[in-house]
Every structure is written in structure tokens, then in C-alpha cells.
């Protein structure tokens, strides 16, 4: 998966007959996406697709508990069945392969693979072994996330991410998984979006476990990042051939006016969304501006923690969805000022591809040790319907094209970006929004579990076929 952004123009096919590839998705001839070593894949996460929450010894997770509380998830939805992927995984991999997708990013359900005493659960482990072996047989590059939010409930009962001990339990879990799965994983990501785990889970309570306290959020973040830092050397020792990294969601904040106060507000927005995670990982310190925003919330940090957290990474996974327009709140912070007349998705999120490019090029300037990047999630929700066996997801096609163009621009500006994963392979359990919001490039009818490839996926497949034919 090696890449050299400076060599992009050397490997792009020089002559592409104008118009021969005309469709609403295919990237232009000079796009870095035509490079055959630019990995194009799709992503999912365990709780969002697997279902089978009580099967084969799986323990309860914080999302089983949270989604069972009335009012926490839209329409009272839970992940109990989801896409029934635990039983339908073979057909789902066939579908992934038939689309020509070259990479698959999945996550492991921690409560499925070990019990409260740390004893491995063979049946759970075997599920992931079968899955990963099949992906390898198909020649699909595997990105495996160890923690995509489904913390075992027994750990939450002892404080969850507020308890430093959870970080050590996570390292034990990483040890087990990398001993068991070594050789089938191309890239390990320790955590998915620690911002969401810490802030939505412990800061505002919109996600499991549903606690709401800024001080909790900063302490949970520290323990999450510590868990990451403790796991990386374990993964390196057990599975030296794979890449090790972490996945961060990033947010673009733009000022509502030219005033110094609004500029400062936009800066603070990005500190809270991006630097809070990236500074400790890449600079070994928390941004002090964070504690201007949330005075008195400095986490308890022990000697050596920041060195553990900032050990070198092989890659950084970036998830990007939208921008937020902000103004000063008149005190130390920012407030959202939604723009009128802009394009939005089913989530209400603004479609703003430039934000992805601008953040990536900004990170390159800010972090001199920025590792190679994979866009580990990008996509959008729409209220997709199946009509005569087809799903015409026009907005998604345009969304993907524009965001891939932003990635291409960032590559051309010198950012080392090696791949892109669509979020998501299929419609799934969208956390607090349940099944109403559809992010998949494949439609799922939850009453029959029928999968229908959307037009977006057909066009991605067409592009990948064309690219392969030229290689």
C-alpha cells in the first residue's frame, strides 16, 4: 500500500478519451484516484450491522443498555438484529467483492470475544476468523477497528472510560485479538472517533453511556487515548507486518463573520473537535485552549502517559462529514449559527467538501510528523427508497464525487493520502437515530433483510472495474 503523492502524475493514464467515461461519479482523468494503489473500500462497525446480541456467549455492551432506555434512540430502535450480518456475513462479503471494493473496514465487538475475567470466547473469535479469512481469500485489504463504541457493560459498571483501569483492559483485549488474528489483518485501528466516545458518551450524554459532564469528557478522552497508546506496542509485538493507527473524526468550523471574536470561536471549535485528539497523539500534549473553553477540566495525567499516547503511528484514519458555522457565544466559547440556503443531508449536516481539503492541508502544516492518511469514513444519509428494484441516490453520487475531488486536491497539495472508505457499505443502525437514517451504498430492507445495491455503489463499481482494466 505504498504511496508517493509526488509521483501521482507519473502513474495516471495520460490519454483518456473525452466523454468516454461520462457519468455523474467517475473522477476526471488527472485524479489521483486513478492510481491503482489508492485503496477504495467501504466501512461498517460491529454494533451497527451484526445483530445476534445474545448469541454464542456475547456479553452485553453499553449500547445494548443505552438503546433499551426509552427516549435514547429514535423510534426505540436497538442493534439487537441490525443487518443480521452475524448470520449473513458470507453473502455480505460476496456483495462487497462483487462491487470490486478493494478494502473493507470492520470492527470487532469486544463483548463478543472475551468475558469479564478476560477469558477468550472461542465462538466469538471464530466468527471474526472466518470473516477475515474469507476477506483474505477474496484479496480484500482488511482494516480492523478494535473499539467502535461497544464497550462491555461490565467495564462500564466499574466506571467505563472514567476508570483508568479500562485502558489496561483494552490493552489485554488488543493482545488477545492480535495474537488470534495476526496475518489476517492489514491495518489495525485501536479506536474509532474517541471524540464521540468521550464527548457524546460522557460530555453531553447523546450516546452511551449517557453521562453529561465536561470534566468527565476530558478524563474519558485521556483514558481512551491512553488505551490506544498502551495497545499500539502490543499490536506491534504480536502482528509486526500490519499497520497500526487510530481513527479520528474531524470537524470544520468556519467563522460567521470577520470579527476577531467569531474567528476565535471558529478556532476554538476546531480545537475542541480536532486538536483535542490530534495534539496529544502527534505533539504529546493537550491544547491549552481547550481548557479556556472548559475551564477547570484538565484530566488527571500520570507521568509517562503523554509519551505512551504519542508513540509513532503508521497511519491516521480520518472521518469527515460536514462543517459547522460558528459565532462567539459572548463568553469563552462558540455557538452554532446554521447557514441558510446551503445543501444538507438527511442528518441535517451541511455538504461542504472544501472542509475536508482545508483540514487535511492544515494538518500537514500543523503536524510535522503527520502520518500517512486514510479517509476511513466519508458519506451521507438520505431517505433512500427502492423503486422497481433500484435506488436512485443522486445526492450521494454527487456528494461522493465532490468529496473525492477534495481528497484529490489535498493529495495534489502534498498530503499523503492512501485510501478512502465509503461510510457505509450498507444501511445500518445509526446510533441515536436508529434505522431511519440511511448511510449505505447498499439499501437494507429491515423487514426482509434484502440488500439492494444503490446507484452510487453501481457507479463506484463501474469506476473500479475501469481502473482495474487499465492497470
In the block, cell 490493552 appears at: 171
CB of 406 to ligand IFM, least distance (A): 17
How far is Cα 134 from Cα 90, in angstroms, rounded to an integer?
A: 8
Q: Could you say whether residue 193 binds ligand IFM (CB under 6 A)?
A: yes
Give residues with Cβ within 8 angstroms of 275, minimum separation 6: 287, 289, 290
Residues between 234 and 263 that touch ligand IFM (CB under 6 A):
249
Q: Among residues 315 and 423, whose Cβ is nearest to ligand IFM?
A: 423
Nearer to ligand IFM, 202 or 439 (CB): 439
Using CB under 6 A, which residues numbered 108 to 137 contact ligand IFM? Answer: none
- Burial label for 304, CB within 10 Å (0-12, 13-18, 19+), is exposed
Applying CB under 6 A, the site for ligand IFM has a residue count of: 9
Least distance to ligand IFM, CB of residue 258, Å: 32
Residue 367 · residue 411 · CB < 8 Å: no
Q: Using the rule CB under 6 A, which residue among 153, 184, 319, 324 binds ligand IFM?
A: 319
Closest-CA residue to 455 (of 402, 388, 410, 407): 388
C-alpha distances in angstroms, 346 versus 108, 226, 455, 457?
28, 35, 17, 18
- Of 156, 180, 350, 377, the catalytic one is 377
Indicate whether 67 belongs to the interface with ligand IFM (CB under 6 A).
Answer: no
Our finding on whether 377 is near ligand IFM (CB under 6 A) is: yes
193 is catalytic: yes
Q: Nearer to ligand IFM by C-beta: 61 or 319?
A: 319
CB of 304 to ligand IFM, least distance (A): 31
Choice between 48 and 153, CB closer to ligand IFM? 48
Concerning whether 270 is annotated as a catalytic residue, the answer is no
- Backbone torsion region of residue 71, taken as left when φ is above 0, otherwise alpha when ψ lies between -120 and 50, otherwise beta: left
* Omega before 424 within 30 of 0, i.e. cis: yes
Structural element, H or E, at residue 451: strand 450-453
Check binding of 463 to ligand IFM (CB under 6 A): no
| CB-nearer residue toward ligand IFM: 192 or 242 | 192
Least distance from ligand IFM to the Cβ atom of residue 196, Å:
7
The active-site residue, picked from 193, 270, 350, 430, is 193
Nearer to ligand IFM, 3 or 424 (CB): 424
Q: How far is the CB of 249 from ligand IFM (least distance, A)?
A: 6
One symbol per residue from 413 to 432: x for binding ligand IFM (CB under 6 A), - otherwise; what is it? ----------x------x--
Integer Cα distance of 72 and 91 in angstroms: 32
Take residue 49 and report the three cell numbers written for it: 450491522
Sorted by sequence, the CB contacts under 8 Å of residue 280 that are 6+ apart come out as: 225, 286, 306, 309, 310
Cβ–Cβ < 8 Å for 174, 127 = no
Least distance between ligand IFM and beta carbon 116 (Å): 25
For 251, half-sphere exposure in the C-beta direction (CA atoms, 13 angstrom radius) is 24
Near ligand IFM by CB under 6 A: residue from 45, 135, 410, 441: 45
Which CB sits closer to ligand IFM, 374 or 463? 374
**Shortest distance, position 160 Cβ to ligand IFM, whole Å:** 18
Q: Rounded to whole angstroms, how far apart are CA atoms 233 and 248?
A: 19
Residue ranges in contact with ligand IFM by CB under 6 A: 45, 48, 193, 249, 319, 377, 423, 430, 439
Q: Annotated active-site positions, please?
A: 193, 377
Amino acid at each position: 500500500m505504498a504511496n508517493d503523492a509526488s509521483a501521482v502524475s507519473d502513474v495516471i493514464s495520460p490519454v483518456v478519451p473525452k466523454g468516454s467515461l461520462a457519468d455523474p461519479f467517475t473522477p476526471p482523468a488527472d485524479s489521483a484516484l486513478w492510481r491503482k494503489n489508492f485503496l477504495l473500500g467501504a466501512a461498517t462497525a460491529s454494533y451497527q450491522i451484526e445483530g445476534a446480541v445474545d448469541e454464542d456467549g456475547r456479553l452485553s455492551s453499553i449500547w445494548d443498555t443505552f438503546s433499551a432506555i426509552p427516549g435514547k434512540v429514535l423510534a426505540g430502535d436497538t442493534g439487537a438484529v441490525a443487518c443480521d450480518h452475524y448470520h449473513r456475513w458470507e453473502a455480505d462479503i460476496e456483495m462487497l467483492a462483487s462491487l470490486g471494493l478493494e478494502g473493507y473496514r470492520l470492527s470487532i465487538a469486544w463483548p463478543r470475544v472475551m468475558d469479564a475475567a478476560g477469558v477468550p470466547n472461542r465462538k466469538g473469535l471464530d466468527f471474526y476468523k472466518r470473516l477475515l479469512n474469507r476477506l483474505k481469500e477474496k484479496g480484500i485489504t482488511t482494516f480492523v477497528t478494535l473499539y467502535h463504541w461497544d464497550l462491555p457493560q461490565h467495564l462500564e459498571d466499574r466506571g467505563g472510560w472514567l476508570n483508568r483501569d479500562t485502558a489496561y483492559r483494552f490493552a489485554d483485549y488488543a493482545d488477545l485479538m492480535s495474537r488470534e488474528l495476526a496475518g489476517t489483518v492489514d491495518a489495525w485501528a485501536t479506536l474509532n472517533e474517541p471524540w464521540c466516545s468521550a464527548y457524546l458518551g460522557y460530555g453531553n450524554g447523546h450516546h452511551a453511556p449517557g453521562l453529561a459532564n465536561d470534566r468527565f469528557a476530558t478524563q474519558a478522552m485521556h483514558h481512551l487515548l491512553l488505551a490506544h497508546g498502551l495497545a499500539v506496542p502490543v499490536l506491534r509485538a504480536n502482528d509486526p507486518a500490519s499497520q497500526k493507527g487510530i481513527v479520528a473524526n474531524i470537524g470544520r468550523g468556519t467563522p460567521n463573520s470577520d470579527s476577531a471574536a467569531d474567528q476565535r470561536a471558529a478556532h476554538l471549535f476546531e480545537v475542541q473537535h480536532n486538536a483535542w485528539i490530534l495534539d496529544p497523539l502527534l505533539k504529546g500534549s493537550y491544547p491549552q485552549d481547550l481548557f479556556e473553553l472548559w475551564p477547570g477540566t484538565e484530566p488527571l495525567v500520570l507521568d509517562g502517559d503523554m509519551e505512551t499516547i504519542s508513540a509513532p503511528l503508521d497511519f491516521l484514519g480520518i472521518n469527515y462529514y460536514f462543517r459547522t458555522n460558528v459565532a462567539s457565544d459572548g463568553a469563552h466559547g462558540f455557538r452554532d449559527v446554521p447557514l441558510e440556503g446551503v445543501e444538507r443531508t438527511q442528518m441535517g449536516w451541511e455538504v461542504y467538501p472544501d472542509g475536508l481539503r482545508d483540514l487535511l492541508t492544515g494538518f500537514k502544516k500543523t503536524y510535522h510528523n503527520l502520518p500517512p492518511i486514510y479517509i476511513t469514513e466519508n458519506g451521507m444519509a438520505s431517505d433512500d427508497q427502492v423503486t422497481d428494484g433500484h435506488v436512485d441516490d443522486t445526492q450521494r453520487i454527487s456528494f461522493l464525487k465532490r468529496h473525492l475531488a477534495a481528497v484529490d486536491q489535498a493529495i495534489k497539495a502534498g498530503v499523503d493520502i492512501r485510501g478512502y472508505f465509503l461510510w457505509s457499505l450498507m444501511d445500518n443502525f445509526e446510533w441515536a437515530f436508529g434505522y431511519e437514517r440511511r448511510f449505505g451504498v447498499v439499501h437494507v430492507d429491515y423487514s426482509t433483510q434484502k440488500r439492494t445495491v444503490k446507484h452510487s455503489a453501481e457507479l463506484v463499481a463501474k469506476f473500479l472495474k475501469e481502473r482495474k482494466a487499465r492497470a
